[in-house]
């Protein structure tokens, strides 16, 4: 739906510059596109392909490998309910049912108000608080039907605004890369280290004998 | 490659010592030694990836024998490999069971059934029974991934041959794996397709029936197909192919892996051109115009009529009133017979096999012609006005590979960027009018990053293109001449238009020429032709102008629509209308049929055997897989019959008679005989004194090339190539170098040709038209093959931003081209700085009235206005 524009385009160009090969910026760029649209739009795929000197098919191929990159429009909140063993034993399926009913969307679908998309997910490593779910990768649990309703009203009424940004926004802290170390320096460093290691080995060997 | 070949190493394969080339993967070394290791993803022309795991063999390492993929491991000295053990068999069994878990067992209705590596290898190495009882995965099938390729995702075994072909070989990753795990599928981008010039190759290399051809789908079963080796005639590359036919109908064409030429790849034009042979507009019988209608007649009546009119005209006016255009698409045998009839008996010299202007024959005969291998291995390749992907697509693949591997470095000089522009060392956009004066001041070797002292002339190859169809051959020769001044021994590769233009020129089908590069007027006494021409004839453009001015009465059109690529259609129309008799020796009714008075049916592609000579002067065989349609005949048979009707005996009863005479009078073909073609799969470069780099013959992957040739060769032992060249007692190649004495005189004859005048540009909003040659722009194949005609797209116009401003048009505008009273249809304009300012680039696609502006003499000035 949208290509990168203005500041986002600047950010995209910066991301590309971070890597020795433009191609390496594919996934960060997918996230960037998602932070704008909430999902990875076909136009964005095309633009990413241009920026990384690849083709839309390759970007699509890469993006489709990752569950956290959505290729179709999703709601403002993507709710992923875990139904793996620990959660299942604690009532994961009941939780899923409650979520489907409360949010107004069944698994894989988006509610009519375009607020919620429901997913069934594998273990999200929150077994100590089973049954659990995540909303835009922010974890909640243990939850029952009441909890889900409360969660919904908290989300809608903005009480979780700071904690759960809309889908696609994954980090509000801008990362920067350290200065590149020239390859020669790395080689030199390695030589020194190798030498140290071999002298250490020689000493150790001598001690043993 | 030659270096690799020198370094032989030995390793142990199943207990016996084997010699192999250093750097070869185990799978190839074993295959050359006669041990076939099963595989799916490995393709000898692509990088190994080790994805399918079918080629697991036991290789001895520090921890004893372990299973390793034979495609991914290179042979090393004294390596021990076991290809047949309990562990290997168990691995193969397991891999196959795994691959078959989701593979539908619809072999009885699958196109691949019968030639399917998965089927064959399951029979040879598989479990026989499946333990998998669960539901297999399902996808909607088939889906269209390009205009000609269908994808059945259920059958896919994820070997990645197609996706790797797209990314690695073509350089456009238009398809890639999407999804993950059991849901993985090959997919184009959302809303995108796999449309490109090489899409058909993925059908051939798919090891299962996942990728099928729309036109071949459900048409035949592989075991019913008859195969004939042949050569593609859709361009002057001469790709080696195998024609497969069933019940006297060609069903498909597959590429043969030829080291010297096409590396098993074909372009889609070459792959689907065969459909034209069985198209409905084939000429099945002779036709004669009676009362303004073409009426079907017998051979006798047609030939008698032609002979009568011809004899009368010759008696009344003389040979200057007869002309022939074409010959670049008929076989060597045909070309020679027609040259003998017209030049040797009727004294007609106005015979031109390059109506489009083409490349000056003196360059083709006098210059040193480079082979494709030399192009991709030269130190400096100069691409002069060449758009290789449009002009010779498979050469583009090879050049692309070479440029990426840095076996050559190239400089491109053209008016617009091409698909090679990003790969060459330097891409110079210079206006064609200025390049002649500028080229001397350009430091070509510096642009290519080659040090002058490291560069000898012989390592320079000039690729002479015809990217702009409005450029004359004299412009091209002028440019090449300037380059040759600097590099006198540089070699030339002309991107000729006809499949056999080189052969036709060698047979004398050009004004002023006789076979073997002999020139008229300097014929030895013992020359076997009784009545060779006394004065220089006209080239095709002049013939048409003369005919339009009533100066020529009889025009022969030789071969499938020889005027197809001629950009000035109005001149053609006038010329054909005005001449009193037009005789078409053609396989198809086509655009000029209404102007033709006699049609003599010519056998089509795949209907006759013979030979052609490709752009690198390599003679290649044409195979016959069909009975000729109707009462059509070979070109040379028609020449013999016409000669008989006039009262001459050409003395030819078979192709070998023709070759006997060619060998006798053509120095170029001395020592060549067509029987060599049956043993030399790569064809024979003529003159044979030319030193040719002989690559070691590759053993082919039957999965890559299901042609008979590969089957014949797949188990060949590793051996030195057979020497067909002359060697002296020291084992050095003998360079007889006597083939060019008469060629020197050529340039004198050529000087008499009128040179093209170039229109000057005074008004700034006037643009010079550049008609860009397109692969699907014109030609009988494109017009008559259903698959190819569906690929023709509306031409686009391109203009630089500077010129767009002057002409007050913008990117995306719909515009018309205007010149004087002439106005074109409407086209979408793209403003792009990949074009030289002052030049309007229009893709030349027939049927869009661009030919209105065509004129061979110099640039055409036009304006663009908003529609």
Q: Which residues contact B396 (CB under 8 A, 6 or more apart)?
A: B388, B389, B419, B420
Residues B43-57 have pLDDT tens digits of 999 999 999 999 999
Angstrom distance (rounded) from CA A96 to CA B115: 50
Confidence of residue B734 (pLDDT cuts 50, 70, 90): very low
Assess whether B539 and B628 both reside in one domain: yes
Instruction: Give yes or no: residues A19 and A36 share one domain.
Output: yes
- Residue-wise pLDDT for B817-842, tens only, equals 888 777 888 899 999 989 999 899 99
B82 and B156 part of one domain? no
Domain match, B354 and B366 both: no
Q: For residue B448, is it within any domain? A: yes
Task: Judge whether B86 lies within some domain.
Answer: yes
Domain co-membership, A144 together with A81: yes
The better pLDDT of the pair B645, B716 is held by: B645
Domain identity same for A58 and A109: no
A33 and A97 in a common domain: no
Interchain CB contact of A108 with B (< 8 Å) = no
Q: Is B192 on the interface with A (CB under 8 A)?
A: yes
pLDDT average, residue stretch B329-339 = 96
- What average pLDDT score do residues B25-30 get? 93
A198 contact B CB<8A: no
pLDDT at B627: 95
The answer to whether residues A58 and A90 belong to one domain is no
User: Tens of pLDDT along B783-793?
Assistant: 899 999 999 98
pLDDT tens figures, B668-701: 898 888 888 888 778 888 887 665 555 444 444 4
The reported pLDDT for the residue numbered B558 is 95
Three-class DSSP category at B171: coil
Contacts of A54 in chain B (CB under 8 A): 173
Read off the CATH number of the domain in which A142 is found.
Answer: 3.40.30.10
The residues pairing with B468 across neighbouring beta strands, listed in sequence order, are B772
User: Residue B67: is its pLDDT beyond 90?
Assistant: yes
What percentage of residues in chain B have a pLDDT greater than 70?
Answer: 90
Q: Give a yes or no: residue A161 inside a domain.
A: no
B815 CB within 8 Å of a chain A CB: no
Window 135-174 of B: residues touching A by CB (8 A cutoff) are 166-167, 172-174
| Minimum-distance CB partner of A56 among B166, B180, B189 | B189
Instruction: Name the average pLDDT for chain B.
Output: 87
Q: Which residues contact A32 (CB under 8 A, 6 or more apart)?
A: A4, A8, A11, A12, A15
Domain-located, residue B594 = yes
Residue B564 maps to which CATH number?
3.40.50.740
Please indicate, yes or no, whether residues A85 and A152 belong to a single structural domain of this protein: yes
Question: Does residue B474 share a domain with residue B577?
Answer: no
A164 touches chain B (CB under 8 A): no
Structure tokens at A52: 């990384």
* In a domain? residue B271: yes
pLDDT digits (tens, 9 = 90+) for A9-51: 999 999 999 899 999 999 999 999 998 999 999 999 999 999 9
Q: Do B188 and A57 touch (CB under 8 A)?
A: yes
- List, for residues A108-142, the tens digit of each pLDDT value: 999 999 999 999 999 999 999 999 999 998 999 89
If asked whether residues B510 and B659 sit together in one domain, one would say yes
Residue B710 has pLDDT above 50, yes or no: no
Contacts of B176 in chain A (CB under 8 A): 55, 57-58, 60-62
User: Of A42, A45, A58, which has the smallest distance from its Cβ to B173's Cβ?
Assistant: A58
Residue A59 sits at the chain B interface (C-beta within 8 Å): yes
B16 touches chain A (CB under 8 A): no
Classified as helix, coil or strand, B181 is helix
Distance CA B649, CA B639 (A): 10
- CATH number for the domain harbouring residue A31: 1.10.10.1590
Could you tell me if residue A209 is inside a domain?
no
Disruptive mutation site among A23, A42, A57 for chain B (greatest number of B CBs within 10 Å): A57
Instruction: Tell me how close the Cα of B238 comes to any Cα of chain A, in angstroms.
Output: 31
pLDDT band at B721 (very low <50, low <70, confident <90, very high): very low
Omega into B687 within 30° of 0, i.e. cis? yes
For residue B695, is it within any domain? no
Q: Cα A141 to chain center, whole Å? A: 20
pLDDT at B741: 42
Per-residue pLDDT of B313-323, as tens digits, reads 999 999 999 99
Domain boundary among B236, B254, B278: B278
Are A57 and B191 in contact (CB < 8 Å)? no
Q: Is the pLDDT reported for residue B259 higher than 90?
A: no
CATH number at residue B423: 3.40.228.10
Which pLDDT score, from 0 to 100, does residue A170 have?
65
* Overall number of domains in chain A: 2
- Is residue B724 pLDDT above 50, yes or no? no
Q: Is residue A205 part of a domain?
A: no
Residue B717 lies in a domain: no
Average pLDDT, rounded, for chain A: 89
Helix, strand, coil percentages in chain A from 3-state DSSP, rounded to 5: 50, 10, 40
A36 with A53, same domain? Answer: yes
Q: Point out the domain boundary residue: B643, B670, B685.
A: B685
Is A11 in the B-facing interface, judged by CB distances under 8 Å? no
- pLDDT of B71 strictly over 90: yes
Give how many domains chain B has, as a whole number. Answer: 5
Retrieve residue B532's tokens: 């060779």
Given CB atoms, is B181 within the 8 Å cutoff of chain A?
A: no
End-of-domain residue from the set B255, B278, B301 = B278
With beta carbons under 8 A apart, name residues in chain A contacting B191: 42
Q: In whole angstroms, what is the distance from residue B628 CA to residue B600 CA?
A: 13
Residue B192 has its nearest CB partner, among A56, A64, A71, at: A56
B-chain residue closest to A43, CA distance: B190
B422-466 pLDDT, tens per residue? 999 999 999 888 888 888 888 888 888 888 777 888 889 999 999
* A124, A173: one domain: no
Residues of A in contact with B189 (CB under 8 A): 42, 45-46, 49, 55-57, 59-60
Do both A130 and A152 map to the same domain? yes
- Chain B stretch 356-375, residues whose beta carbon is closer than 8 A to a beta carbon of chain A: none
In this structure, what are the phi and psi dihedrals at residue B827, rounded to the nearest 5 degrees?
A: -135, 155
A45–B177 C-beta distance less than 8 A: no
On whether both B181 and B313 belong to a single domain, the answer is: no
Q: Does pLDDT of B656 surpass 50?
A: yes
Residues B227 and B345 in one domain: no
User: Of B331, B340, B635, B684, nearest to B513 (Cα)?
Assistant: B340
Structure ipTM: 0.83
Of B174, B179, B180, the CB nearest to A57: B174
Domain of residue B146, CATH code: 3.30.70.20
Same domain, B64 and B190: no
Which domain range does residue A195 map to?
6-70+168-199
Residues of A in contact with B164 (CB under 8 A): none
Q: Indicate which of B164, B171, B178, B188 best probes the interface with A, i.e. most A CBs within 10 Å of its own CB.
A: B178
A83 with A131, same domain: the answer is yes
Q: Do A64 and B192 touch (CB under 8 A)?
A: no
Q: Using alpha carbons only, how large is chain A's radius of gyration in Å?
A: 23
Least Cα distance to B198 among B166, B168, B175, B176 occurs for: B166
My answer on whether omega of the bond before A131 falls inside 30° of 0, hence cis, is: yes
Give tens-digit pLDDT for B262-310.
Answer: 999 999 999 999 999 999 999 999 999 999 999 999 999 999 999 999 9
Best of A43, A44, A61, A72 to disrupt the B interface (most B CBs within 10 Å) is A61
Contact at CB, B187 and A42, closer than 8 angstroms: no
The answer to whether position A87 is within a domain reads yes
DSSP A4-55: --HHHHHHHHHHHHTSSSGGGGHHHHHHHHHHHHSS--HHHHHHHHHHTTS-
Verify that B677 and B563 share a domain, yes or no.
Answer: yes
> Which tops the pLDDT comparison, B677 or B410?
B410
- Structural domain contains residue B747: no
Q: Are residues A141 and A83 in the same domain?
A: yes
Interchain contact, A42 vs B177, CB within 8 Å: no
Q: Which residues of B touch A49 (CB under 8 A)?
A: 189
For residue A45, which residues of chain B lie inside 8 Å, CB to CB? 189-190
DSSP 3-state of B216: coil
Distance from CA of A178 to the nearest CA of B (A): 31
With an 8 Å Cβ cutoff, are A60 and B189 in contact? yes
Task: Name the residue range of residue B55's domain.
Answer: 3-96
Question: What's the pTM value of the predicted model, to 2 decimals?
Answer: 0.89
What CATH number does the domain containing B823 carry?
2.40.40.20
Instruction: For residue B390, tell me if it sits in a domain.
Output: yes
Could you tell me if A61 lies within 8 Å of chain B, comparing CB atoms? Answer: yes
Q: Are B142 and B132 in contact (CB under 8 A)?
A: no
Does residue B808 surpass a pLDDT of 50? yes
Q: Rounded to whole angstroms, how far apart are CA atoms B829 and B815? A: 6
Least confident of B73-87, B92-106, B499-513, B746-760: B746-760
Q: Is A43 on the interface with B (CB under 8 A)?
A: no
**Is the same domain home to A25 and A43?**
yes
Task: Assess if residue A149 is contained within a domain.
Answer: yes
Within this chain, do residues B556 and B654 fall inside the same structural domain, yes or no?
Answer: yes
Q: Are residues B372 and B334 in the same domain?
A: no
CB pair distance less than 8 Å for B176 and A71: no
Question: What's the pLDDT score for residue A174?
Answer: 57
Q: What integer pLDDT is reported at residue B864 of this predicted model?
A: 86
Q: Can you give the pLDDT at residue B442?
A: 87
Residues B552 and B630 in one domain: yes
Look at B191 and A42 and tell me if their CB atoms are within 8 Å: yes
For chain A, give the percent of residues with pLDDT over 70: 93
């Amino acid at each position: 739906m949208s290509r990168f524009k203005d500041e986002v385009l600047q950010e995209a160009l910066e991301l590309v510059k971070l890597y020795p090969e433009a191609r390496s910026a594919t996934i960060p760029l997918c996230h960037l596109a998602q932070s704008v649209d909430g999902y990875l739009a076909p136009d964005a795929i095309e633009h990413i392909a241009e920026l990384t000197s690849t083709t839309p098919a390759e970007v699509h191929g890469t993006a489709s490998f990752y569950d956290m990159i959505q290729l179709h429009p999703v709601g403002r909140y993507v709710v992923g309910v875990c139904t793996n063993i620990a959660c299942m034993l604690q009532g994961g399926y009941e939780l899923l049912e409650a979520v489907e009913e409360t949010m107004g969307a069944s698994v894989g679908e988006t509610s009519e108000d375009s607020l919620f998309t429901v997913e069934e997910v594998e273990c999200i490593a929150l077994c100590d608080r089973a049954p659990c779910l995540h909303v835009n990768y922010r974890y909640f649990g243990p939850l029952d039907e009441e909890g889900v309703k409360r969660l919904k009203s908290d989300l809608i009424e903005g009480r979780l605004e700071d904690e759960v940004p809309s889908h696609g926004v994954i980090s509000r802290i801008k990362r920067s890369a350290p200065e590149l170390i020239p390859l020669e320096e790395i080689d030199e460093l390695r030589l020194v280290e190798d030498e140290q290691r071999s002298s250490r080995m020689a000493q150790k060997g001598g001690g043993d004998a | 490659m030659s270096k690799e070949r020198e370094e032989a190493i030995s390793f142990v394969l199943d207990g016996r010592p084997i010699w192999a080339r250093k750097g070869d993967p185990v799978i190839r070394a074993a295959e050359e030694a006669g041990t076939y290791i099963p595989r799916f993803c490995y393709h000898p022309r692509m990088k190994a990836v080790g994805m399918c795991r079918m080629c697991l063999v036991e290789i001895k390492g520090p921890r004893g024998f372990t299973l390793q993929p034979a495609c991914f491991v290179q042979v090393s000295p004294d390596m021990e490999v076991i290809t047949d053990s309990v562990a290997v068999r168990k691995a193969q069994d397991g891999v196959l069971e795994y691959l078959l878990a989701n593979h539908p067992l619809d072999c009885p209705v699958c196109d691949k059934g019968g030639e399917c590596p998965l089927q064959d290898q399951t029979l040879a190495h598989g479990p026989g029974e499946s333990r998998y009882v669960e539901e297999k995965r399902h996808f909607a099938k088939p889906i269209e991934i390009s205009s000609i390729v269908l994808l059945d995702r259920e059958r896919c075994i994820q070997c990645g041959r197609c996706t790797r072909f797209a990314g690695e070989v073509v350089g456009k990753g238009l398809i890639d794996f999407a999804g993950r795990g059991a849901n993985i599928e090959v997919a184009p981008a959302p809303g995108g397709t796999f449309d490109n010039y090489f899409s058909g190759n993925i059908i051939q290399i798919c090891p299962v029936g996942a990728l099928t051809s729309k036109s071949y789908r459900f048409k035949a079963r592989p075991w019913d197909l008859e195969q004939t080796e042949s050569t593609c005639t859709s361009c002057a590359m001469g790709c080696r192919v195998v024609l497969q036919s069933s019940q006297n109908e060609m069903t498909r064409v597959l590429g043969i892996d030829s080291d010297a030429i096409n590396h098993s790849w074909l372009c889609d034009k070459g792959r689907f051109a065969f459909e034209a042979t069985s198209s409905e507009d084939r000429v099945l019988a002779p036709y004669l115009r009676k009362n303004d209608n073409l009426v079907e007649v017998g051979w006798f009546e047609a030939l008698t009529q032609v002979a009568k009119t011809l004899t009368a005209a010759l008696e009344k006016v003389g040979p200057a009133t007869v002309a022939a255009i074409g010959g670049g698409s008929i076989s060597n045998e045909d070309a020679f017979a027609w040259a003998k009839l017209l030049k040797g008996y009727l004294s007609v010299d106005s015979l031109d096999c390059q109506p489009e202007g083409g490349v000056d024959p003196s360059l083709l005969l006098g210059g040193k012609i480079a082979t494709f291998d030399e192009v991709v291995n030269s130190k400096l390749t100069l691409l002069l006005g060449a758009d290789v992907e449009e002009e010779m697509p498979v050469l583009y693949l090879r050049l692309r590979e070479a440029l990426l591997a840095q076996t050559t470095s190239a400089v491109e000089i053209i008016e617009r960027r091409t698909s090679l522009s990003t790969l060459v060392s330097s891409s110079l956009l210079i206006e064609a009018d200025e390049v002649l004066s500028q080229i001397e001041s350009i430091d070509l070797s510096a642009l290519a990053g080659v040090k002058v002292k490291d560069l000898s002339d012989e390592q320079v190859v000039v690729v002479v293109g015809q990217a702009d169809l409005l450029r004359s051959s004299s412009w091209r020769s002028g440019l090449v001449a300037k380059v040759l001044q600097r590099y006198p021994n540089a070699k030339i590769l002309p991107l000729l238009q006809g499949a056999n233009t080189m052969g036709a020129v060698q047979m004398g089908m050009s004004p002023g020429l006789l076979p073997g590069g002999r020139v008229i007027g300097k014929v030895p006494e013992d020359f076997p032709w009784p009545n060779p021409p006394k004065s220089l004839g006209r080239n095709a453009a002049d013939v048409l102008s003369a005919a339009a001015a009533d100066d020529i009465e009889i025009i022969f059109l030789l071969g499938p629509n020889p005027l197809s690529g001629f950009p000035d259609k109005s001149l053609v129309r006038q010329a054909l209308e005005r001449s009193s008799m037009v005789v078409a020796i053609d396989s198809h009714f086509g655009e000029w049929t209404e102007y033709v008075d006699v049609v003599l049916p010519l056998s089509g592609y795949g209907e006759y055997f013979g030979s052609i000579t490709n752009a690198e002067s390599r003679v290649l065989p044409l195979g016959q897989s069909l009975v000729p349609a109707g009462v059509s005949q070979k070109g040379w048979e028609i020449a013999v019959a016409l000669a008989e009707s006039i009262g001459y005996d050409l003395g030819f009863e078979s192709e070998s008679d023709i070759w006997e005479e060619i060998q006798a009078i053509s120095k170029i073909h001395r020592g060549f005989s067509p029987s060599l073609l049956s043993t030399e799969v790569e064809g024979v470069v003529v003159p044979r004194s030319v030193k040719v780099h002989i690559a070691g013959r590759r053993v082919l992957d039957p999965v890559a090339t299901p042609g008979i040739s590969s089957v014949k060769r797949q188990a060949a032992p590793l051996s030195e190539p057979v020497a067909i060249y002359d060697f002296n007692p020291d084992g050095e190649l003998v360079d007889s170098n006597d083939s060019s004495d008469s060629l020197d005189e050529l340039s004198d004859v050529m000087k008499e040709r009128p040179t093209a005048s170039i229109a000057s540009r005074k008004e700034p909003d006037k643009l010079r038209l550049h008609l860009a040659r397109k692969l699907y722009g014109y030609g009988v194949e494109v017009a008559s093959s259903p698959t190819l005609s569906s690929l023709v797209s509306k031409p686009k116009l391109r203009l630089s931003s500077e010129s767009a401003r002057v002409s007050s048009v913008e990117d995306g505008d719909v515009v018309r081209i205007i010149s004087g009273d002439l106005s074109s249809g409407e086209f979408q304009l793209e403003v792009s700085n990949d074009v030289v300012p002052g030049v309007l680039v229009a893709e030349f696609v027939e049927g869009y009235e661009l030919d209105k502006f065509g004129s061979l003499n110099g640039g055409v000035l036009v304006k663009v206005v908003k529609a």
